[in-house]
Amino acid sequence: MHVLIIGAGGFIGRHLAGRLVAEGVRVTAAGRAPERLERLIPGAAALRCDLTQDDIGDWRRRLIGVDAVVNCAGLFGDTRGYADVHERGPAALFDACRATGVGHVVQISALGADARAASAYHRSKAAADDHLAAIDPAGSVMGWTVLRPSLVIGRGGRSSALFAALAALPVMPRLAQAGGLVQPIHVDDLVEVVIRLLRAPLPLAKRLDVVGPHAMTTDALTACFRQWLGLLPAWGFTVPQLVLAAVARIGIGPVTREGMAMLAAGNAAASAPMVLATGHLPAPLHQALARHPAIDADLRQARLVPVAPVLRLMLALVWLAGGIVPLVFTPQATSAAWLARVGLTDMPATAVLWAGSMADIAIGLALLVRSRGAALAGIVLMTAYTLILTRIAPELWTDPFGALVKNAAVLGLSLAVYALETRHG
């Protein structure tokens, strides 16, 4: 069997591709960065695709020799991209699958996907689901399955990052009325469901809610993650709705307004139809998490999630102050005296002052808008500043206010921010 996975570089796609490759299945991973996919998924072939641009003709050429297609592609929080990535792009893919004789298509949708849903995310997912179901309603020519998972838990998932971060706080935040019932399923169980469906005899035409065996509150889910992280039970407090709304608006870590709204609406369903269709009973969450014991890196990551944006903000303020203060608040004579020590006077001195200040401000602004590489540029510039000042004014190392010693702290903060922003190239 040759399986093409769209969105193979994402959370679910990578877990599915890795499992299929390990079982000897021929896998082609599709995404916008095939070179990255080849590194991330050893043993899989890779091809370039872009759901925002590719049409049915592009897909027909790629689908030659493909037996099954799994669409794992998805966005969350970027409402402007929903129409292309969730609707038009998958529709072209599904039409091409029907035209080229692909045997089975699995669409990874979302629990709650409905044309009348309040969430734009759910409405866009439902549009693709309906299009797939309408191509061959009975699945007699091309088998199809729409899987609608609840919260999918596992390393690398947004939901796991959010609830692990909440669980790792010194006190346990309760989401009050913001959290309805959820029915999480571990990504291993979702992958098992997909594989069983890929191997099921055709015809097949089903929509299945993919959920764990038990519904729970978001507070119980957070407590489950705290136990997994090896932390003792902690005192809890109810987070006011206004605070939750403000945090979601700022977008701290994985918290978004759309995500909080979806949690408030609830995310639970009956698991019996899925179990009947696949013969697989997902494990309760605490057992599923226990299959992958937490390590020190998991706890560090959980604690860094809420801290990372604060570190970036603090570093940005340092750079903005470094650029604005010399131009606005420092006496011109003071700046001129310092520049004269390196042989710069008059117009050259003014030019260097403005160039340095503008560079500092640019790095500060780049950090605020989360430009990749901003922290690295700051490391280079701060190192240069430190070397120059050490050369012309070594006495600053013994300054009682730590004029140069503080540069070491800024460099350390810059290294931390750079490490947190690094992604697979």
CATH superfamily of 2-294: NAD(P)-binding Rossmann-like Domain (3.40.50.720)
Query: What is the pLDDT, as a whole number, of residue 424?
Result: 47
Contacts of 328 (CB under 8 A, 6+ apart): none
Query: What is the pLDDT, as a whole number, of residue 238?
Result: 81
Contacts of 47 (CB under 8 A, 6+ apart): 28, 29, 30, 34, 62
- Give 118-135 pLDDT, tens digit per residue: 889 999 999 999 999 999
- Give 337-356 pLDDT, tens digit per residue: 888 887 888 999 899 999 99
Q: How far apart are CA 11 and CA 22, in angstroms?
A: 17
Burial of 283 (0-12, 13-18, 19+ CB in 10 A): middle
- The two three-digit tokens of residue 28, written as one number: 């082609």
- Give 145-154 pLDDT, tens digit per residue: 999 998 999 9
Give the pairing type, strands 26-31 and 45-48: parallel
- What are the phi and psi torsion angles at 175 (to 5°)? -85, 5
Give the pairing type, strands 152-153 and 205-210: unpaired
Q: How far apart are CA 191 and CA 8, in angstroms?
A: 13
Contacts of 304 (CB under 8 A, 6+ apart): 420
What number is the average pLDDT over the span 250-279?
76
The β-bridge partners of 6 are 30, 71
Give the pLDDT band (50/70/90) at residue 240. Answer: confident
Identify the residue whose tokens are 């994985």.
254
Any idea which of 156-160, 227-231, 246-250, 410-414 has the lowest mean pLDDT?
246-250
Q: Which range among 87-91, 200-204, 237-241, 407-411 has the greatest average pLDDT?
A: 87-91
Residue with the larger pLDDT of the pair 29 and 310: 29
Q: Rounded to 10 degrees, what is the CA torsion of 364, 324, 406, 399? A: 170
SS3 call for 227 = helix
Q: Are 28 and 72 in contact (CB under 8 A)?
A: no
SS3 call for 189 = helix
For residue 422, the tally of other CB atoms under 10 A from its CB is 12
- The two three-digit tokens of residue 146, written as one number: 């729409």
- Give 351-364 pLDDT, tens digit per residue: 999 999 999 999 99
Q: Are 107 and 73 in contact (CB under 8 A)?
A: no
Q: Indicate whether 246 pLDDT > 80.
A: no
Letter for the amino acid at 236? G
Q: How far apart are CA 125 and CA 132, in angstroms?
A: 11
DSSP 150: S
The β-bridge partners of 172 are 236
pTM score, two decimals?
0.86
Identify the residue whose tokens are 């602004």.
365
Any idea which of 115-119, 281-285, 298-302 has the lowest mean pLDDT?
115-119
Burial of 335 (0-12, 13-18, 19+ CB in 10 A): middle
Task: Show me where the domains of the chain are located.
Answer: 2-294, 308-421
The β-bridge partners of 148 are 209
What number is the average pLDDT over the span 85-110?
97
What number is the average pLDDT over the span 377-402?
90
Q: How far apart are CA 53 and CA 35, in angstroms?
A: 19
Cα of first residue to Cα of last residue in the chain, in angstroms, is 30
- What are the phi and psi torsion angles at 251 (to 5°)? 80, 45
Q: Are 271 and 186 in contact (CB under 8 A)?
A: no
Alpha helices by DSSP H, 229-373: 241-250, 257-265, 272-278, 285-290, 296-328, 332-340, 346-368
- Give 16-72 pLDDT, tens digit per residue: 999 999 999 999 999 999 999 999 999 999 999 999 999 999 999 999 999 999 999
Alpha helices by DSSP H, 112-173: 120-135, 158-167
- The two three-digit tokens of residue 40, written as one number: 């991330």
Query: What is the pLDDT, as a whole number, of residue 35?
Result: 95
Q: Are 267 and 182 in contact (CB under 8 A)?
A: yes
Q: Are 281 and 373 in contact (CB under 8 A)?
A: no
Q: How far apart are CA 305 and CA 418, in angstroms?
A: 14
- The two three-digit tokens of residue 121, written as one number: 């995310």
